[in-house]
Chain A
């Protein structure tokens, strides 16, 4: 395999958790609720997966645990932001702080233990003979295929179904949506919870396919990079695919350069994804200064009937 193919494979592997988390963020924010708790949710998803997988040895159970735990946290976020109309920034921050504390607390007993297995691969042996494509697609696991399918499904959902229309209406103009008979609160609760569960699944993917053991703070800011990716992707699932893989490539590029025996200290190579996140956001801000950014218009503003703001 040549360098490019290897980099592509690494980009997909490192990009999949970013993709899942970004899609979760897109769902949440399309409904008009800011999701800044991604880092905490990913950590909770990862630690739940590890604990259940190591204790029970059942992968499916582990994934369900990750989804259940983070969906529960998503419900807390919805309750705070939708029902109580709390500050959405603060709620997300609380989720991140609580998630990193709780995951460290729960994960202490299994820290450093290897998982019983990794995410299983889809059997595509007939593809193996094909040059580049076989190399890349022949080795993808179920979660990666699921994330690819999800991109397509969410794209169709958001842009081509009436459910998606309702979702966008709730995110852009909840008062009008309410008048049209759309159940704003219910939709917000559902999508925030589903989005949180997807971010939890991103954490699960990190330990299953990327770093096969639990370590405190193992996401190392990838949740926050996903928060940035939601903005790069302009709340659009198809764009999210390219953005996530681009960052996956950056993430693994540093590692690859290191393997090639470069003289650059590894610490600087590890800075690349963080620095590029800031630079890309600045570039987008500069380029789109007079253009609509694609932000859901009611993002961050709570809505309750009968009240005017």
Chain B
């Protein structure tokens, strides 16, 4: 491989030496950078490969992977209870995933959805604590506004360091996740702790007026509508507005967009406000629709799972609905394998490996095998 004579001629200095062709079969891999669109099979294949990889760990644990996966699938989609639970988990994933997708359109890496969701839930709870006697309409409206605003503010705290101080938003948004979780611990152990809660950390239960309406006797709440409406708005905005066009332009070529007079900093701030706001809505919907009180572990990592949800969907709005239901099922399925003695973290493991195979698959198809001369 080492080009011993490189540098002897002027041409060699300008042109890096050619790769040595594969010897035995006269074939070589060639990178084709024009193939930027990732193929449809990449998400599907990555899920299959991730299932196979994790099967190895399950076998190592002395279990039969087929039984485990069947159990997960039945738990998540096999019963009507399981399915509504899956949908309940899909709601925050859809909202957070949508926010991440919006930011990622212009390559802003928001991994702070977890913290933004947490502060959204806290702000919604603040409404129940400081304005207790509101009518149902006003309580829900105010909680929604507070939750969104808190999430958006948390997003802004990532956007400003990025735009005005050049700080990588990955680190900021992640650090703010830890700050938000510690703030949550503070309020549920401290000032907002339910005096009638047997010393259990958590806020008082929400009243019926402060809870989101649910479907029949299930836990499926109206937050699903929030998610679907947000997806619709995202689709219309991206497709038909000037703003959507500008995002596309920045995403495709930031330098060209800057020359075209597009204010990139402004767009970073806007997408982070939207991204954080959507996660804040997810947090509000969780406390008001599912747990009915603020407590520790309000999010079992929704913010992180939503990153994979957004990526697996290729930022496509319809795809987001599909992948968030799939990952909602993964979380519920993860809980259901606990009955046969496996830790539920198997679902996190699956999520991480799906992402691994997804980014590999997106690149592998760019290589093609060529016969060398």
* Closest B residue to A307 using CB positions: B31
* Closest B residue to A186 using CB positions: B1
Residues of A within 8 A of B4 (CB): 181
Do B359 and A80 touch (CB < 8 A)? yes
Binary CB contact string for chain A from 198 to 214 against chain B (1 if under 8 A, 0 otherwise): 00000000000000000
Do B359 and A91 touch (CB < 8 A)? yes
Do A267 and B185 touch (CB < 8 A)? yes
Do B352 and A227 touch (CB < 8 A)? no
* Closest B residue to A220 using CB positions: B178
Q: Out of A178, A224, A268, A286, name the residue touching B174 (CB < 8 Å).
A: A224
Residues of A within 8 A of B363 (CB): 80, 84-86
Closest chain-B Cβ to A29's Cβ sits at a distance in Å of 12
In the complex, which residues 139-186 of chain B have their Cβ closer than 8 Å to any Cβ of chain A? Answer: 161, 165-168, 170-172, 174-179, 182-183, 185-186
Q: How far is the CA of A40 from the CA of B4 in the complex (A)?
A: 40
Closest chain-B Cβ to A278's Cβ sits at a distance in Å of 5
* Closest A residue to B343 using CB positions: A108
* Closest A residue to B190 using CB positions: A265
Q: How far is the CA of A84 from the CA of B364 in the complex (A)?
A: 6
Which one of B261-269, B282-290, B304-312 is at the A interface?
B304-312
Q: Is A277 an interface residue (CB 8 A)?
A: yes
Do B167 and A183 touch (CB < 8 A)? no
A277 and B171 in contact, given A85-B31, A179-B17, A221-B178 (Cβ under 8 angstroms): yes
Q: Is A89 an interface residue (CB 8 A)?
A: yes
Q: Is A101 an interface residue (CB 8 A)?
A: yes
Q: How far is the CA of A102 from the CA of B353 in the complex (A)?
A: 9
Q: Out of B1, B12, B177, name the residue touching A179 (CB < 8 Å).
A: B12
Q: How far is the CA of A224 from the CA of B346 in the complex (A)?
A: 23
Do A76 and B356 touch (CB < 8 A)? yes
A271 and B348 in contact, given A175-B16, A181-B3, A227-B171 (Cβ under 8 angstroms): no
Closest chain-A Cβ to B7's Cβ sits at a distance in Å of 6
Residues of A within 8 A of B246 (CB): none
Do B175 and A274 touch (CB < 8 A)? yes
Do A93 and B307 touch (CB < 8 A)? yes
Closest chain-B Cβ to A156's Cβ sits at a distance in Å of 25
Binary CB contact string for chain B from 19 to 40 against chain A (1 if under 8 A, 0 otherwise): 1000000000001010000000
Q: Is A145 an interface residue (CB 8 A)?
A: no
Binary CB contact string for chain B from 184 to 221 against chain A (1 if under 8 A, 0 otherwise): 01100110000000000000000000000000000000
Residues of B within 8 A of A108 (CB): 343, 345
Q: Is A282 an interface residue (CB 8 A)?
A: yes
Do B352 and A180 touch (CB < 8 A)? no
* Closest A residue to B356 using CB positions: A94
Residues of B within 8 A of A228 (CB): 171, 175
Q: Out of A90, A225, A231, name the residue touching B355 (CB < 8 Å).
A: A90
In the complex, which residues 277-327 of chain B have their Cβ closer than 8 Å to any Cβ of chain A? Answer: 304, 307-308, 311
Residues of B within 8 A of A99 (CB): 352
Residues of A within 8 A of B307 (CB): 93, 97
Q: How far is the CA of A57 from the CA of B329 in the complex (A)?
A: 40
Q: How far is the CA of A180 from the CA of B4 in the complex (A)?
A: 9
Closest chain-A Cβ to B356's Cβ sits at a distance in Å of 5
Q: Is B369 an interface residue (CB 8 A)?
A: no
* Closest A residue to B161 using CB positions: A282
Q: Is A36 an interface residue (CB 8 A)?
A: yes
Q: Is B128 an interface residue (CB 8 A)?
A: no
Closest chain-B Cβ to A76's Cβ sits at a distance in Å of 7
Binary CB contact string for chain B from 226 to 268 against chain A (1 if under 8 A, 0 otherwise): 0000000000000000000000000000000000000000000
Do A104 and B343 touch (CB < 8 A)? yes
Q: How far is the CA of A204 from the CA of B304 in the complex (A)?
A: 25
Binding site for A on B (CB under 8 A): 1-4, 6-7, 12-13, 16-19, 31, 33, 57, 109, 111, 161, 165-168, 170-172, 174-179, 182-183, 185-186, 189-190, 304, 307-308, 311, 343, 345-353, 355-356, 359-360, 362-364, 367
CB pairs A–B below 8 angstroms (26 shown): A80-B360, A84-B363, A84-B367, A85-B31, A87-B359, A91-B356, A91-B359, A95-B356, A97-B351, A98-B356, A101-B349, A101-B351, A104-B345, A105-B57, A108-B343, A181-B7, A183-B1, A220-B178, A221-B178, A224-B174, A281-B165, A281-B168, A282-B161, A285-B166, A285-B167, A307-B31
8 A-B pairs besides A97-B308, A281-B172 with CB distance below 8 A are: A101-B347, A179-B6, A180-B7, A181-B6, A268-B182, A281-B171, A289-B166, A305-B16
Top 6 A-B pairs ranked by shortest CB distance?
A: A98-B352, A101-B348, A285-B165, A104-B345, A101-B349, A97-B352
